[in-house]
Amino acid sequence: ELMEEAGYPFCAAHKRVHEIFGKRVGEYRLRFQAGEDITDELRTMLSRWLFNHIRGDDKAYAPQVKQHLNQFARDHQQGSWLGRTLKRFFR
């Protein structure tokens, strides 16, 4: 939602990546329920995906979302609880 509000141009693609990831995890779940030992394979996939996704995909949108939140905080900074909270997190 923040990506959309910030106008991040690759928001739809980012959501699609998460959908594909969810399907992949669902496939592992089915294999596990069928009795297959997927422990090592799942751990490897999750660690690689999370590391690469956070380091790449999530890092790519962070500046735009941060800029949007900072502008929002400046626009609503008249001593409101939200303005004070955002200031603490994004300064």
Query: In this predicted model, what pLDDT tens digit does every residue of 46-84 receive, in sequence order?
Result: 999 999 998 998 888 888 888 888 887 777 665 566 666
pTM value > 0.85: no
HSE-up (13 A, CA, CB side) for residue 28 = 16
Q: Give residue-wise pLDDT tens across range 41-51.
A: 999 999 999 99
In tens, the pLDDT along 10-29 reads: 999 999 999 999 999 999 99
Instruction: Check residue 83 and give its pLDDT.
Output: 63
Split at pLDDT 50, 70, 90, the class of 4 is confident
Measured distance CA(27)–CA(74) in Å, rounded:
45
Structural domains of the chain, count: 1
User: In terms of residue numbers, what domain contains 16?
Assistant: 2-89
How many Å apart are CA 64 and CA 38, to the nearest integer? 38
Asked whether the beta carbons of 77 and 20 are under 8 A apart, the reply is no
| Residue 35 in this model has a pLDDT that exceeds 90 | yes
Question: Which residues have a Cβ under 8 Å from the Cβ of 11 and sit 6 or more positions away?
Answer: 3, 4, 61
